[in-house]
Amino acid sequence: MAFLGGQRLRRTRRTAWSRAMVRETVLTPSDLIWPLFVIEGQNEKTQIRTMPGVERLSVDLCVEAAKAARDAGIPALALFPNTPDHLRSENGAEAYNPDNLMCRALSAIKSAVPEVGLIADVALDEYSSDGQDGLVRDGEILNDETVDVMIRSALVQSQAGADIIAPSDMMDGRVGAIRAALDDEGHEQVQIMAYASKYASCFYGPFREAVGSGSRLKGDKRTYQMDYANSDEAMREIEQDIAEGADSVMVKPGLPYLDIVRRARDSFNIPIYAYQVSGEYAMIELAAAAGAIDRNGAILESLHAFKRAGANGVLTYFALEVARELAR
């Protein structure tokens, strides 16, 4: 039977050149942010059991990674320190030590590769002895006291060379407090990328192993990270962070929350980023290793999904590999 309609939508899909002409979503290296895990030592790298292919790197190797990122067209790195056990404490004081691992990494990379943007994570789980993102008293996560520590942490990171401060804790009021402190101390050019809608998710497991907080975590983070059943609440969180001075906002995790990315894009005129978190990375790697999916296809399809949903960029552990592939 002959096709009776006037439109044949398959026509434009018939050839590769035609598909390229009508493609709605384009992924480039400048859309990617590469997270790095930093450890002590010299020429030191360690494997992360639950993240095959991702390594913790000493500061000197982070510098080399930054050079590779620059050469591949990746605009920025996000740094996460694995603080040695003996420097972790209940009050997280190492977070505002100007000579801590994070600050030394920021300074070394900025000195060697100044053209690459540096995003500094601000939260206490990388410095605390209990694995929580905030200070704890009698089992309660303290909001305002935690914000005071985060301010001090953000200041030393900015002094060390951070271009973007990224508070990932989900304490109330921390964006406004950090913005005011940065401005008062002459860091008015430092941006804030707020983890505005960060959910209490099971997809963070490999990350917690990578930064050394998972095995020491006492309790959970549901009193401050968002309930994954909620969507309207995410819009209120984003709106509040924008009002407090955020320059950009983040949705975390990524693929399970593309609806939040889309709602944010439709609701707010601000750069929106999504984090393809460690559990998402691990699922692709482990499924590919088992022969269940095509690895390269899954990576590119997932990253295009972020852009299609409205994200300006994606934090992904695949960043260097993908940037090099896109260049080819």
The residues annotated with a catalytic role in the active site are 198, 252
CA nearest neighbour of 313 among 248, 260, 269, 257: 248
CB contact at 8 A, 126 and 78: no
d(CA 290, CA 295): 10
Question: Checking DSSP bridges between strand 32-39 and strand 45-47, what pairing results, if any?
Answer: unpaired
Question: Checking DSSP bridges between strand 76-81 and strand 164-167, what pairing results, if any?
Answer: unpaired
d(CA 275, CA 220): 21
Residue 94 assigned ligand-binding role: no
d(CA 305, CA 299): 10
CA nearest neighbour of 101 among 187, 9, 28, 37: 37
d(CA 230, CA 57): 36
Length of the chain: 328
The runs of H, that is alpha helices, within the chain are 16-22, 59-72, 101-112, 143-160, 174-184, 205-211, 232-243, 258-267, 278-289, 295-309, 319-327
d(CA 110, CA 158): 11
Give the residue carrying structure tokens 């995410």: 234
Give the residue carrying structure tokens 């305002």: 144
Q: By CB neighbour count within 10 A (0-12 exposed, 13-18 middle, 19+ buried), where does 106 fall? A: buried
CB contact at 8 A, 36 and 57: yes
Tell me the binding residues for Mg(2+). 237
Tell me the binding residues. 237
